[in-house]
């Protein structure tokens, strides 16, 4: 089921944000046919390459003309194509937007790059850390002494995959109205910059300092930070609103007079030191017993291995197990078109025969492709 049931997606295999975007579409019920090399494109054994869950895998050699012809035939019945090569690569293969839209004028052609299809750095190699560095995001994240990479969540997955998925679905809706396809140029630097929209607004209003640990939500405020507990673990506190801050003061046993000037930035460092002393007097579990479930805006800082066991996550089914591998489940949730649980990530070529057949290839065409070495 799922809200994207019936939508056909050709994914030209890559790494990172491209596969994650296609996974999001597959999670929502789209039929994603992943075109990859016989050796695969992932970093791990296929069953652990979770961004490929819910897809079907077809091995096609894009260096052979028969392989290119096969992909163009798939394009004819596709709603979406996604690719993550450097600018110009798909054009040199004969699979660029012009060639694909000539075969299918309604196609939504999704492109994922770091710096975009145009600009001085368009063809330069990079990674998440570079893209978020140039967007202003990395400078704002971390301790006062240095920026800290927030994993590769902001560039690859937030600014890249999510924006591409949003762009693809938006273009697909427009295609239903106009009958015409188009290219979606999603770049990690653009997406990461977009994620910083609120902060740029705060800066323009004079409410954001251009340094780390000096602002409301970057660890500068004593009421929005993480704190070490007596057992060496951590808790998170986000008591921004006055009523929530009052609950923090009450439940932590803080002196109301000392902590009264909540928004006096000059006192934030001293108040943070005092609050840190108090939090260190109890274990994480002890603070959970006191504050969890209240309006303090409190949560324990859980590891990746602890998070699936938290009662709230268990109650909602936030994490699921597929083929013995624990992983986050599809999001968001739908009241009517509830997606099925994703299938396990396939080994490369697991669905070459059946996938091509389902997409309109005859048995003879499949046999010829395999005989030529263009499919496996």
Q: What is the pLDDT of residues 110-137, one digit of tens each?
A: 999 999 999 999 999 999 999 999 999 9
Cα–Cα distance measured from residue 243 to residue 81, given in angstroms and rounded to the nearest whole number: 49
Whether residues 358 and 240 share a domain: the answer is: no
Return the number of other C-beta atoms located less than 10 Å from residue 273's C-beta.
10
Whether residues 292 and 325 share a domain: the answer is: no
Choosing from 127, 139, 234, 310, which is the catalytic residue?
Answer: 127
Whether residues 288 and 144 share a domain: the answer is: no
Q: Looking at the predicted structure, is the pLDDT value of residue 44 above 70?
A: yes
Q: Looking at the predicted structure, is the pLDDT value of residue 37 above 90?
A: no
Minimal CA–CA distance to 50: which of 366, 352, 344? Answer: 344
Residue 15's pLDDT band, with cuts at 50, 70 and 90, is confident
Q: Looking at the predicted structure, is the pLDDT value of residue 360 above 80?
A: yes
Q: What is the pLDDT of residues 284-323, one digit of tens each?
A: 999 999 999 999 999 999 999 999 999 999 999 999 999 9
The CATH number of the domain holding residue 45 is 3.40.50.10540
**Taking the CA of residue 140 as centre, how many other CA atoms within 13 Å lie in the half-sphere pointing to its CB?**
23
Helix, strand and coil in the chain, % to nearest 5: 40, 15, 45
The CATH number of the domain holding residue 290 is 3.30.1540.10
pLDDT of residue 202: 96
Domain residues for the domain of 271 are 224-228+234-300
Q: What is the pLDDT of residues 75-117, one digit of tens each?
A: 999 999 999 999 999 999 999 999 999 999 999 999 999 999 9
Residue 42's pLDDT band, with cuts at 50, 70 and 90, is low
Cα–Cα distance measured from residue 54 to residue 33, given in angstroms and rounded to the nearest whole number: 10
pLDDT of residue 1: 86
Cα–Cα distance measured from residue 360 to residue 376, given in angstroms and rounded to the nearest whole number: 17
Choosing from 31, 61, 156, 185, which is the catalytic residue?
Answer: 156
Per the structure, how many domains does the chain have? 2
CA 43-45-47 angle, to 5 degrees, is 120
Q: Which two tokens stand for residue 22?
A: 């296609």
Whether residues 38 and 167 share a domain: the answer is: yes
Whether residues 57 and 190 share a domain: the answer is: yes
* Alpha-carbon Rg for the chain in angstroms: 25
Overall pTM > 0.75: yes
From 266, 300, 334, the end of a domain falls on: 300
**Taking the CA of residue 340 as centre, how many other CA atoms within 13 Å lie in the half-sphere pointing to its CB?**
12
Q: What is the pLDDT of residues 144-161, one digit of tens each?
A: 999 999 999 999 999 999
Cα–Cα distance measured from residue 359 to residue 212, given in angstroms and rounded to the nearest whole number: 52
Q: Looking at the predicted structure, is the pLDDT value of residue 41 above 60?
A: no
Return the number of other C-beta atoms located less than 10 Å from residue 139's C-beta.
15
pLDDT of residue 289: 98
The three-state DSSP-derived secondary structure of 109-178 is EEEEECCCCCCCCCCCCCCHHHHHHHHCCHHHCECCCCECCCCCHHHHHHHHHHHHHHHHHHHHHHHHHH
- 312, part of any domain: no
Q: What is the pLDDT of residues 321-351, one digit of tens each?
A: 999 999 999 999 999 999 999 999 999 999 9
- Give every CB contact of residue 119 below 8 A, 6+ residues apart in sequence: none
Catalytic residue status for 156: yes
**Average confidence (pLDDT) over 248-269:** 97
**Average confidence (pLDDT) over 30-57:** 87
Q: What is the pLDDT of residues 172-226, one digit of tens each?
A: 999 999 999 999 999 999 999 999 999 999 999 999 999 999 999 999 999 999 9
């Amino acid at each position: 089921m799922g809200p994207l049931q019936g939508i056909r997606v050709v994914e030209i295999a890559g790494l990172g944000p491209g596969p994650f975007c296609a996974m999001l579409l597959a999670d929502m019920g789209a039929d994603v046919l992943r075109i990859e090399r016989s050796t695969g494109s992932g970093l791990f054994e296929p069953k652990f390459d979770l961004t490929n869950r819910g897809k079907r895998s077809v091995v096609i050699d894009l260096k052979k003309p028969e392989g290119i012809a096969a992909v163009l035939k798939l394009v004819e019945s596709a709603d979406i194509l996604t690719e993550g090569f450097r600018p110009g690569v798909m054009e040199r293969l004969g699979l660029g937007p012009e060639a694909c839209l000539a075969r299918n004028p309604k196609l939504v052609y999704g492109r994922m790059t770091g710096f975009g299809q145009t600009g001085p750095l368009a063809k330069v190699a990079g990674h998440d850390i570079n893209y978020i560095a140039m967007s202003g995001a990395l400078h704002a994240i971390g301790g006062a002494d240095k920026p800290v990479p927030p994993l590769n969540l902001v560039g690859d997955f937030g600014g890249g995959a999510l924006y591409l998925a949003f762009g693809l679905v938006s273009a697909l809706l427009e295609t239903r109205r106009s009958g015409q396809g188009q290219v979606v140029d999603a770049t990690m630097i653009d997406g990461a910059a977009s994620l910083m929209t609120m902060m740029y607004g705060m800066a323009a209003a004079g409410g954001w300092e251009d340094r780390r640990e000096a602002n409301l939500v970057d660890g500068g405020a004593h009421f929005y930070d993480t704190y070490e507990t007596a057992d060496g673990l951590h808790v998170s506190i986000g008591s921004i609103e006055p009523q929530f801050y009052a609950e923090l003061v009450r439940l932590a046993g803080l002196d109301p007079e000392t902590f009264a000037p909540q928004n006096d930035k000059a006192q934030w460092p001293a108040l943070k030191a005092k609050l840190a002393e108090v939090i260190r007097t109890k274990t994480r579990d002890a603070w959970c017993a006191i504050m969890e479930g209240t309006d303090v805006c409190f949560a324990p800082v859980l590891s990746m291995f602890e998070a699936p066991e938290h009662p709230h996550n268990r109650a909602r089914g936030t994490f699921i197990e597929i083929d013995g591998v624990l992983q986050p489940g599809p999001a968001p949730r739908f009241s009517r078109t509830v997606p099925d649980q994703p299938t396990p990530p396939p080994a490369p070529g697991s669905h070459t025969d059946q996938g091509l057949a389902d997409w309109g290839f005859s048995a003879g065409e499949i046999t010829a492709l395999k005989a030529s070495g263009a499919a496996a």
